[in-house]
Amino acid sequence: MTELIIPAIISCFVAFFLVFVMTPPLIKFLEKRNMAVKDMNKKEDVMVVRPGGPALIVGIIASEIVLYAFLQMNEILAIIITTSAAFVIGYVDDRKVMGGWFKPVALAIAAIPIIALGAYDSDLAFPLFGIVQIPVLYFALIIFMIPITGNTINSIDVLNGVASGFMVIASFSLSICLFIVQNYEIAIVSLPLGFVSLAFYKYHKLPSKIFPGDSGALTLGAMYGAIAIVGGVEIIAAVALLPAVINSFLFLASVKKIVEHRQIKGKPVDHTDDFKLRATSDKSAPITLVRLILAGGPLSEKQVGYEIFKLAIFSGILAIITAFLMGVSL
């Protein structure tokens, strides 16, 4: 365990530092190229640049390469390749809005390196019940999990700071859980995800200077899913991600098909005269987590963000409890 302290410190520093120092020049670069979108939740005509994915992927790759130099693990290579593929998929979608099936199918393909490198254990661990062996079905779980985690983070990226802030909470919760179940090496490998999210949150928080875009959100979500798989903590990871998973489920259940969210005409949220957010009365609009939060009445964007963070913290605590129960059953 002690031999992991130095690579952990170096990789976390690299992850945070690179994203923190690269994002401001990236913002200026995107501004010069007019790569900005209107912030729909501001009364004024506010334009925010995107995507922030390039800064995130540089921080992730550099920090994981540092860890690979110390640990020489196939699991790290699988995380790097799958996460990089997710970034490319997201960047393509940032540049041109693709069809609804593009991201799920492409992210499923991005999961293949995890299988090819053998960076998984087909035993699925459940709290209290112990281990269930599903060698054949587990391949399907790998293929489905990366699209699920990637798109759930992408779908919750609707307000200033929410996607990056949510990932700070979820990823650090997952790292704590990996330590609890004594998977120390993957716990160390998971730490850079929290630190790149934290560094990016500095610029993404309200009022946002930059949006992550699909390239940023898919990168964060895919890395989270890859860590869950190589760490053998799929159930725990799902618990920590529960608010985002519920949001995706509500969206898909209400629209009844896989569709690119930017192509949805009905919006789940509109605005009061003082530009607080309120749940729409449009019955054709999809149901989302934000719409449910606003069912009790209008709230400011900041208040809605805090409500989502509270749910994320609650889910993180549930994940930690699940990890302790997992330790009892193993």
Residues 270 and 287: their CA atoms lie apart, in Å, by: 13
Does the pLDDT value for residue 258 go beyond 70? no
Instruction: Give pLDDT, residue 280.
Output: 86
Residue 120 is classified by DSSP as: -
Segment among 191-195, 262-266, 316-320 with least mean pLDDT: 262-266
Domain residue spans in the chain? 2-257+303-329, 261-301
Residue count (the chain): 330
Residues 261 and 252: their CA atoms lie apart, in Å, by: 10
Q: How would DSSP label each residue in 171-212? A: HHHHHHHHHHTT-HHHHHHHHHHHHHHHHHHHHHSSSPSB--
Instruction: Give pLDDT, residue 264.
Output: 64
Query: What is the per-residue pLDDT across 188-231, written as a single tens digit (0 to 9) for each?
Result: 999 999 999 999 999 999 999 999 999 999 999 999 999 999 99
Does the pLDDT value for residue 330 go beyond 60? no
Query: What is the per-residue pLDDT across 79-112, written as a single tens digit (0 to 9) for each?
Result: 999 999 999 999 998 888 777 778 899 999 999 9
Residue 282's φ and ψ, nearest 5 degrees, are -70, 110
Contact between 204 and 210 under an 8 Å Cβ cutoff? The reply is yes
Instruction: Give pLDDT, residue 47.
Output: 94
Does the pLDDT value for residue 301 go beyond 80? yes
Query: What is the per-residue pLDDT across 47-69, written as a single tens digit (0 to 9) for each?
Result: 999 999 999 999 999 999 999 99
Does the pLDDT value for residue 328 go beyond 60? no
